[in-house]
Amino acid sequence: MQRRFLQLSGVLGACLVATPLAAQRDFSGVEIRTIPVADGVYMLMGSGGNIGLSVGEDGPFVVDDQFAGLTEKILAAIAAVSDGSVRFVLNTHWHGDHTGGNENLGKAGAMIVAHENVRKRLNPEEFHEVMERSQQAPPDALPVVTFTDAVTFYWNGEEIRAFHVEHAHTDGDAIIHFANANVIHMGDTFFNGIFPFIDFASGGAIDGLIHAADRVLSMVNSNTQIIPGHGPLAKQDALLEYRNMLMTVRDGIRTMLNDGMSVDEIVAADPAAGFADSWTGNAERMVRNAALSLGGQ
């Protein structure tokens, strides 16, 4: 299967903020692959979360920007398909493999946009009661425009609609709909062929992931192209498979919780075992955080 080529290193980086450790990583061997998705829309794959790119007469519009050490390569890939400098960067959530390039692009003049909780989590001075880290993103990395529910950009002949889904991968997730192109970027609410990381510490929950998948499934058709946060470009059937996996695991966990099992006992029972042959990633972490989000102890 196409999914089996996936490298877990990028997935494991999903929970990293843009720390000095991330900045010191060697990205010299990383190649940015540019994948045409629709007219004027591309997906860029490198190290970290998948990037969405809209190009046209108004200039490049970027969804997520991976790690700071990849900015030069990302800009070169953008320049190969578009003229002009990046005008907007829209973050799907706060994790460093999606926001690590914010500072570089912000200093270069791009406007950073995200859900309001992304700014709060990147700036612990505003969210100190739930943050357990002292690392703070530099000012140029912080979103300068935030939204609570939804925002629309009329750009490059597109209606680029971003909307918030609550308590899914995190508490600040945005899903981006390129309405005219029939393309959706789901950020890390969708890991294609990979057991997802549910960031329970940042407000993530398995019920929210299922709700996000259901909301997008209500919007798509067989021609819709779906950019996942991690994994290959997808279509409706792959998202449905992901949603059904989540529901099966969620329902199994709920049964175990109702039987009085602890989180450790649920993890040992491995309610995701039936998917081990066809999915990659960290099933134990997914199950543990899912159980915690369902009230397990």
Q: What's the mean per-residue pLDDT of the chain?
A: 90
6-42 residue pLDDT tens = 333 334 344 444 444 455 689 999 999 999 999 999 9
Q: Are 140 and 147 in contact (CB under 8 A)?
A: no
Among the listed residues 189, 184, 159, the one whose alpha carbon sits nearest the alpha carbon of residue 172: 189
The average pLDDT across 196-214 equals 97
- 172 secondary structure, DSSP code: S
- How many Cα atoms are found within 13 Å in the side-chain-facing hemisphere of 78? 26
Separation between Cα atoms, residue 135 and residue 282, nearest integer Å: 26
pLDDT at 2: 35
The average pLDDT across 56-61 equals 97
- 29 secondary structure, DSSP code: T
Phi-psi sector, 44: left (phi>0), alpha (psi -120 to 50), beta: beta
Among the listed residues 193, 248, 194, 183, the one whose alpha carbon sits nearest the alpha carbon of residue 216: 183
Helix (H) or strand (E) segment spanning residue 284: helix 283-293
pLDDT at 13: 42
pLDDT at 22: 52
CATH tag, 2-238: 3.60.15.10
Q: Are 247 and 195 in contact (CB under 8 A)?
A: no
So where are the chain's domains?
2-238
This prediction has a pTM of 0.90
pLDDT at 19: 43
pLDDT at 3: 33
231-279 residue pLDDT tens = 999 999 999 999 999 999 999 999 999 999 999 999 999 999 999 999 9
Tokens read off for 177:
């709909």
Tokens read off for 28:
């010299």
